[in-house]
A and B are shown apart, each in its own frame.
Chain A
Amino acid sequence: MKTTQQLEKQLKRHSKAAKLEIWGKVVSFSALLLIVAVVVGIIGFVASKGIATFTSNHVNLWDFLTEKKWNPGITDANGKPEVGALPMIVGSFLITILSAIVATPFAIGTAVFMNEISPNKGAKILQPVTELLVGIPSVVYGFIGLSVVVPATRAIFGGSGFGVLSGTCVLFVMILPTVTSMSVDALRSVPRYYREASLALGATQWQTIYKVVLRAATPGLMTAVVFGMARAFGEALAVQMVIGNAALMPGSLVDPAATLTSVLTTGIGNTVMGSLQNNALWSLALVLLLMSLVFNLIIRLIGRKGRLQ
């Protein structure tokens, strides 16, 4: 009897290891809580501010999304404030989609070279180059865009040189390394035995790449492109430096335009908190945030579909 009680006592004693275990759980759980609180806080703050345009300033949501005149300080003939965000929404989507269209073939081509055709050179030369491109600050891209791309556009197509085309060129270079390195990951995750099976059946390397490897990597490659688009959509500084910042519907690729981000960076310091001008900018930020969520959702959906295949 006595030995049983002793054993029970020993087993139920809180050892140092058991205390450390609890302590570790508490630390990691609080880190998680902090992150969740920050994310919820940001979304809540942007949403409350962004909704104020429609609740306290009584702007019609439909007008906000479809009107083409952006001039929050001025009211039109009917006494309504001019807060049509359509030009910025269109501008953002336009340069995002255009830069993704231009960047995708280059990125996938580079990834195929790095992973399939010449893995040695890819690892030695292209990998560091890609990583370097990711690390360049966006203001540097913007500055190069300002001093090289804008004058070139001006010389070739006329106009001021500031506009959608220049923005697309700068963004194309900026998202290229992101899409490339993620495409490399996608190709790398295609099992080696797929390639062996194809080669053993007498397929050439090129047939193996486009009939087997690229097919199997399609979900990963789509994720890479959407990631690139998310980055392009959210990029502010470099775009703002070359796009011209005119809140107008762009009539052509060389017309100056504005994006959600460029209007935010240029405008947010010049407005008073709580005013309509300020609230309207918060509404743009809310649109931006929602779009980021949509991009994330798309990435998740592609990932899930890829796993189910």
Chain B
Amino acid sequence: MFVSNDVSTTGTMQERHIVQPRDAQHPIVLSTEELHVFYGKKEAIYEGDLQFARNQITALIGPSGSGKSTYLRSLNRMNDRIATVTGRIMYRGVDINQPDIDVYEMRRRVGMVFQRPNPFAKSIYDNIAFALRLRGTTDKHELDEIVETSLKQAALWNQVKDDLNKSALALSGGQAQRLCIARAIAVKPDILLLDEPASALDPVSTSQLEDTLLELKKQYTIIIVTHNMQQAGRISEYTAFFNQGRVLEYDTTSHIFTNPQVQITSDYVSGNFG
């Protein structure tokens, strides 16, 4: 009696369940193949091969320490000096994990926004113009235009258009995070990586940020790490569930939340984890 009961619960569940996106309208722009990440000798990611569809939002969820942020940071090689990343990261057919890739040029195409809003101690204008000036854009009109469009895309223009020369450090948390998004999209990247961008924000700012992301999806491919499962449910098309360095489940967000195939995923999304 006891034994058969045990078998029936685990028997329907799989250990891993990976369904890569297949959608002709949203082809794959970024994927990882045999990606492994080591911190020293400790392996942090050992089963994490995902494909990301263009102009869609993919959420990476999972408990703390599951490797989702490590995975995200590997995608634009922010882990280069901290960890060893092996395997291939295919961006539009090019493996960007090769040593001879110009990471600075690559990061212009694969931008990143961090957990904590991190504007520079410069004016709002200079924050956004920072990366453009590094690339030699000095034309005032061009800079003005890009600053304006970036701030508009990040839904911050109306609040700061009269204060562009004020210090960015005076902005509220939600505004600062949207400034960081504007700064990242000012260089017109292809893919935007966001590492728990809303975890330091209040609910209202979070909701505004989500609206912004849904708007940005039309132009950019977005990959977002989030602790907040409701957030993943609200904004993403695809969701990957990480646990202990492995992707245990990857599918459309509606499948992950309504019909998870892996027991741990099911526990996690229903709040029964641990």
Chain A positions near chain B (C-beta within 8 angstroms): 191, 193-194, 196-204, 207, 211-212, 215-216, 309
Q: How far, in Å, is B175 (CB) from chain A's closest CB?
A: 16
In the complex, the chain B residue whose C-beta lies closest to that of A192 is B118
How many B residues, CB 8 Å from partner? 27
For B107, what are the chain A residues with a Cβ–Cβ distance below 8 Å?
199-202
For A194, what are the chain B residues with a Cβ–Cβ distance below 8 Å?
118, 120
CB pair A197 B134 closer than 8 Å: no
Given contacts A202-B104, A202-B134, contact A197 B76 (CB under 8 A): no
- Over the window 89-105 of chain B, the binary record of Cβ atoms lying under 8 Å from chain A Cβ atoms (1 yes, 0 no) is 00000000000000011
CB pair B134 A203 closer than 8 Å: yes
In the complex, the chain B residue whose C-beta lies closest to that of A208 is B134
CB pair A200 B184 closer than 8 Å: yes
Top 10 A-B pairs ranked by shortest CB distance? A200-B112, A193-B118, A201-B131, A202-B108, A202-B107, A197-B118, A202-B104, A204-B104, A203-B134, A207-B134
Q: How far, in Å, is B60 (CB) from chain A's closest CB?
A: 17
Q: B13 interface residue, CB < 8 Å from A? A: no
Q: How far, in Å, is A156 (CB) from chain B's closest CB?
A: 43
Partner of B76, one of A200, A207, A216: A200
Q: B157 interface residue, CB < 8 Å from A? A: no
Given contacts A194-B118, A212-B120, contact A199 B78 (CB under 8 A): yes
For A207, what are the chain B residues with a Cβ–Cβ distance below 8 Å?
134
In the complex, the chain A residue whose C-beta lies closest to that of B127 is A197
CB pair B104 A193 closer than 8 Å: no
Q: How many angstroms between the C-alpha atoms of A193 and B180 in the bound complex?
A: 12
Q: How far, in Å, is B243 (CB) from chain A's closest CB?
A: 26
Given contacts A196-B78, A216-B121, contact A201 B114 (CB under 8 A): no
Q: How many angstroms between the C-alpha atoms of A21 and B56 in the bound complex?
A: 63
Q: How far, in Å, is A81 (CB) from chain B's closest CB?
A: 55
For A215, what are the chain B residues with a Cβ–Cβ distance below 8 Å?
121-122
CB pair A200 B114 closer than 8 Å: yes
A196-B78, A201-B107 are known contacts; what are 9 more A-B pairs with Cβ within 8 Å?
Answer: A196-B118, A197-B183, A199-B78, A200-B112, A202-B105, A204-B104, A211-B130, A215-B121, A309-B167
